[in-house]
Amino acid sequence: MTQANQITLGRIALIPLIIILLLARVNGIAVALFLLLSFSDAVDGYVARRLNQVSDLGKFLDPLADKLLIISVLIVLVSLGRAEVIAVLILVSREFLVQGLRINAARTNNMIAASPIAKWKTGTQVAAVAMLIIGLPLSNLVLWLSVLLGLMSGGAYLWQSQIIKELS
């Protein structure tokens, strides 16, 4: 078990704590922990590259940790009436679609790298979720912006994976 994978597993292990904090309405600590876990994504990647610990397990766990964090918190925010359910359903569906495309591509030794739009989507999602946790105005508008970016990047992944090319 590499240090980078331990960091990633630690991120996953702390997700239930964020959920508990949200349900207990301890929003300040919840948003701080959410942002810490969101930004620590860069830490495990840096550690993996710096210590030459890049592994197949890490390549699988790291994006899984990101998706579990965002999706779990968004579902709780929907249940608390803070996030719009349709936006969250679209984002969750997009994540499953893209993950399926990546798994399918990996079976044939192809990598589907994160596009610049997908990185913007992720940043916008993190901002939207943080805003939703603390109840800032326009937070659902930022969430919808992440939906738009998610749909754009999802379409790019479909194109990159050859599925649309094969259908046309």
Q: Residue 143: in which H helix or E strand, if any?
A: helix 139-160
pLDDT in tens, the chain (168 residues): 888 889 899 999 999 999 999 999 999 999 999 999 999 888 888 888 888 888 777 777 888 899 999 999 999 999 999 999 999 999 999 999 988 887 777 777 777 777 889 889 999 999 999 999 999 999 999 999 999 999 999 988 888 776 655 655
Put simply, whether the predicted model's pTM sits higher than 0.75 gets the answer yes
- CA distances (Å), origin 36, targets 28, 39, 55, 110, 166: 12, 5, 23, 32, 41
Whole domain around residue 62: which residue ranges?
A: 3-167
CATH number of the domain residue 58 falls in: 1.20.120.1760
C-alpha–C-alpha distance, residues 96 and 100, integer Å:
6
Number of domains in the chain: 1
Rounded to 10 degrees, the C-alpha dihedral 97/128/111/152 comes to 60
Q: Are 47 and 35 spatial neighbours (Cβ–Cβ below 8 Å)?
A: no
Query: What region does 114 belong to: left with phi over 0, alpha with psi -120 to 50, or beta?
Result: beta
For the chain, the straight-line distance linking the first and the last C-alpha, in angstroms and rounded, comes to: 44
Give the position of tokens 């990546």: 102
Sign (positive or negative) of CA dihedral 105, 146, 117, 32: negative
